[in-house]
Amino acid sequence: MRTPLLVFISLLIITSCSSTKEEKWIPLFNGEDLDGWTIKIKGYPVGENYQNTFRVEDGLLKVRYDGYDEFGERYGHLFTNKKYSNYKLRVEYRFIDEQVKGGPDWAYRNNGAMLHAQSAESMDINQDFPVSVEAQLLGGDGTNERTTGNVCTPGTHIHIDGELYTPHCLSSTSKTYHGDQWVTMEMIVYNDSLIHHVVEGDTVLTYTGIVVGGGNVNPEPNIPEGPLKEGHIAFQSESHPTDFRKIEIMEIK
């Protein structure tokens, strides 16, 4: 029979080992290629990387438009091949250079992490955005205030303080990040129940009750309404050059 002290030590070791395993960050972006990801750009078949929009150079995942004459509403997304439900997602991003000709005003220094996204394969060839919850990644213009870590809801709704929130976007409480500085953002996701946006260590937005429903996706896919508990993770090409130097995940049991 174990003594109370031995039982305590055993439990401490087990807890420590479990915690260490759970707290392991896994790179989603390997710094070398796009292995594990699938591309879908509006107007093009799944897997076609129009004008090398998504590329890996110098250890960075880059979103670029140097092959475009103009943007032409070619909204693109880079999807993880795997689905996720409960996890922490951490990204380090920055905006550089100028927006491509023809990009909409709202897409200036604009990217996003699409959470619980439908698969690339399930999108219509001309679909602009996947059904998902978007954690916006935004940069300032050098003068005006502009929060990052906002939430937008293509084909979905969320709840704020227990109440259904139907407008398309909701601003966070973050500071503005101007220029080409690197910004770190974490998203803490518990299936359909709870999502936190954390920017540079500060929790800037919290929402609950993620459900399929609403508009802002064209053409609208045939996805049944109801709780949205899992999905792919995707990053965008919305007309402004973006760099990612880290994309990593920690799955939560």
pLDDT in tens, 109-132: 999 999 999 999 999 999 999 999
* DSSP state, residue 56: E
- Given pLDDT bands bounded at 50, 70 and 90, which one contains residue 17? very low
Question: Model pTM?
Answer: 0.90
CB 195 within 8 A of CB 140: no
Query: What is the rounded average pLDDT of the residues 126-140?
Result: 98
Say yes or no to pLDDT of 149 above 50.
yes
At which residue do the structure tokens 């407008």 appear? 167
- pLDDT in the model for residue 22: 54
Say yes or no to pLDDT of 206 above 80.
yes
Distances, alpha carbon 232 to alpha carbons 37, 87, 95, in Å = 10, 12, 24
How far is it, in rounded angstroms, from Cα 62 to Cα 90?
17
CB 185 within 8 A of CB 242: no
